[in-house]
Structure formats: structure tokens, C-alpha cells
Amino acid sequence: MATSKQLQFIADDAISLEVRKGLGATPKRLPAKLFYDEIGSALFEQITELPEYYLTRTERSILEGFAGEILQQAGPSLTLVELGAGTASKTCILIEELLHRQRRALFYPIDVSPSALDEAMRQLGRQFPSLRVNPIVGDYTGGVPALGRISGRKLVLYIGSSIGNFEPCEAIGILRRIRRTLRPDDALLLGADFAKSPKILLPAYDDSQGVTAAFNKNILARLNRELDADFDLDQFRHIALWNRRHSRMEIYLESMAAQSVFIPALDMDLSFEPEERIHTENSYKYTDEMIVSILRQSGFTLEQTWCDRKKWFGVHLARV
Ligand code: TRP
């Protein structure tokens, strides 16, 4: 039983409106931002270490292998900015290389999570005494006007393939708003997962230990905890599908029987048919052409791409 304080947590929030709208729609959906409460964030950390989830590991290896080349290409005297920095764990690779090239550096990590930024501050402060960290708490998707006021040459990092979790038209909007705050010498470093065989993709989103399933189901667990809903987690299964036409992984929770669910905090009665799905996430997988296209449509030109030997993941440098 959730306390009234917990109930307020989602119920008063704009998220509750999205939950109401999404579960009231046909087909049903839930907003992906619900994944990342404390439990969900810990499960996602676990996902990034799974043998099947090649993304994090592959991107890290690209940054390790090419940090020098990437910074060389970006230009001298850089200030780093990171969109959705989280705890900036992969960014250390670039920062370390940067501090070999210049005595001091400035880093602006941007994230919606103040606790993640605190963690980043602590870690980076210890590891790099000559780095000045100016965290910005906020949502970068609507643009970050403050970036326009940073003097000197910027390299804006948008790594981790979060871009893939937006519809391509939304991705273009985000990149466009960032572009407005950049000058001709500045650069964008974009991480994106490449389209590849579903033999590789499917296990990455449906691992053998069931961590991804638990991560996906945590959304329902959260509605139970915070909105006092009565979802029976054993009556839903995690589904990951490859949609070739849209070049994306689609993630669902599928009802295993006809059932009804009540969400007291939203005063909402739901019914599910057997095999009815709730859509929880898309993860777009980009081809070279798609990368060139979203960059061009947002006013960037692609300058260089670095990838691993199997071409599973790409890190792209673009300029306005
Ligand atoms: N950004 C991650 C990705 O698209 C998020 C993610 C990983 C995810 N596994 C998931 C989202 C499973 C939903 C379900 O790769």
C-alpha cells in the first residue's frame, strides 16, 4: 500500500497526465521516462554490463581507441558540454585525453538528475583536479540557451545513443535547438547504434538473465508503488521486436490473459485482452544514410565517423 505522500509523487506530476493519456489510448503506451526511478536506473546500469548488451561496451571501446583523433578533429582549446551526462562515466575517457592536450578544461554536464550530476562532480573532481565542472540541471531536449553564452570553442557530446530513443523528427528538433547555440568552430559528437542483424539486436533487448524484462516491468511496479495500482507483474511479459521498416527495436509489455487493473490515484479502470500490449520504448538503429539525413535536416554536416570493427556502433563528429 503506497502512502499518500508517495501517491502524490506521480499523481501531482505532469507524468500522471501522460500515464492517464497513454493507458487510455489504443494501442496502450507508457512514457519511457518512467523507467528511470532509483530501481530502474540501477537495473539499467546492470543492463549496460550484460554480455548481450553490446552498446555501452562498444561505444566505450570506440572512445578509448579514438579519443586522440576525435579531439584532434574537434580542434584546439576545447570546452566540453555533455547532453544527458548522467554520471559522465564514459566521458572520462575524453576528459583524460583532453587534459593531456591542454592544461585546464571546462566541462558543462547537463542532466535532469541532480543526484547524477552530484556524483559526476565528485568523481571528476577527484580524478581531474585541473577540470572545472559547471553542472546544469535540466532537460536538454528543448535546447539550452546558456550554451550560447559559453565563450571559446565547444565540443558538445551527445553520446550513449539516447538519440535513438526519440522519433527521428523529434531527434531533428533536439539537434536543431542545440545547433542554434553553436558557432562555426564548435562541433557535435553524436553516438548512435547502427542498424544490424536482429540476431544481435534481439538478445540485446531481451537478455537471458531477464534483467531487461525486469527493467521493463519496473514501469508497472512503479505504478503499483506510486499510484497504488494493482498490476499483476506475473501476468505481463516483456517483448522486444525488430521493426525493419522503421529500423527500430520496439519494446512492449504484453498481457498474458484477459485481465483488469485499477489505478486508484488516477481513478482509472483498465482492461486488457489476452496478448494486448503496452508500448514502452522504441530504440532507433541508424544507417549511415539516416545519420547524414538527421544531421543535414538539423543544420549539421557530418565530418567524420568512428566505429568498431564490426560496425555495430558509431560516433559521429558534425559541424554547423
Ligand atoms: N537507451 C537504451 C537503448 O535504447 C535504453 C534501453 C536499453 C531500453 N534496454 C532497454 C529501454 C529495454 C527499454 C527496454 O538501448
Sequential DSSP letters for 154-187 = EEEEE-SSGGGGS-HHHHHHHHHHHHTT--TT-E
- Please say whether the beta carbons of 300 and 318 come within 8 A: yes
Amino acid, single-letter form, for residue 71: L
Kindly give the distance from the C-alpha atom of residue 99 to the centroid of ligand 1, in angstroms, as a whole number: 32
Q: Which residues line ligand 1 (CB under 6 A)?
A: 47, 55, 161-162, 164-165, 205, 212, 215-216, 251, 281, 283
Kindly give the distance from the C-alpha atom of residue 205 to the centroid of ligand 1, in angstroms, as a whole number: 7
Please give the number of the atom of ligand 1 that sits closest to the Cα of 161: 1
Please give the number of the atom of ligand 1 that sits closest to the Cα of 249: 4
Q: What is the pTM of this model?
A: 0.93
Compute the distance between CA of residue 127 and CA of residue 318 in angstroms, rounded to an integer: 29
User: What DSSP character marks residue 2?
Assistant: -
Ligand 1, atom 13, lies closest to the CA of 281
**Predicted confidence band at 9 (pLDDT cuts at 50, 70, 90)?**
low
What pLDDT, on the 0 to 100 scale, is given for residue 3? 47
The H or E element that residue 59 is part of is helix 54-74
What pLDDT, on the 0 to 100 scale, is given for residue 12? 61
* Closest to 101 in 3D by CA, of 133, 72, 61: 72
Amino acid, single-letter form, for residue 311: K
What pLDDT, on the 0 to 100 scale, is given for residue 4? 47
Return the top range by mean pLDDT from 26-35, 81-90, 141-150, 285-294: 285-294
Ligand 1, atom 9, lies closest to the CA of 205
What percentage of the chain reaches a pLDDT higher than 70?
96
Contacts of 261 (CB under 8 A, 6+ apart): 229, 230, 231, 232, 269, 270, 271, 272
Q: What is the pLDDT of residues 153-193, one digit of tens each?
A: 999 999 999 999 999 999 999 999 999 999 999 999 999 99
**Predicted confidence band at 10 (pLDDT cuts at 50, 70, 90)?**
low
Kindly give the distance from the C-alpha atom of residue 101 to the centroid of ligand 1, in angstroms, as a whole number: 35
What's the rounded mean pLDDT across residues 229-243?
98
What pLDDT, on the 0 to 100 scale, is given for residue 36? 87
What percentage of the chain reaches a pLDDT higher than 90?
87
What pLDDT, on the 0 to 100 scale, is given for residue 49? 96
Pocket test for ligand 1, best of 43, 165, 209 (most atoms within 8 A of CB): 165
- Which tops the pLDDT comparison, 113 or 285? 285
